[in-house]
Structure 1
Amino acid sequence: MTKTYELETFWRPMLKAYCEGKTAQPPFMGLDQKRFEHLYNNAVQQGTLPESTVHQGPQRLTYRLLFSQREDEKQQIVQLLRSYGRSDCHYLSELTQVVAHTCLGSSHLWSDLGLPNRRVLGELIRFYYPELHQKNQHHMRWKRFFYRQLCEQGGDYVCRAPSCEECSSYSDCFIN
Structure 2
Amino acid sequence: MGSYRVMSGVARFLFILSLFVVSAQLVCPIAPCPRLEDGYPPPLADDFVYIAQTDRWAAINQDDCMLLGKLDKNGGFQQKNCYPRGVSLSAAPLFVVINEQYPDNYDAYEFRSGVLVPGKILPECGSFLPEIDGKIIEFQEYKHSKPPRPIWNLPGIFKK
TM-score in same-fold range (> 0.5): no
**Greater helix share, 1 or 2?**
1
Per the normalisation by structure 1, the TM-score is 0.27
What TM-score, normalized by structure 2, do the two folds share? 0.29
As a proportion of its length, which structure holds more strand?
2
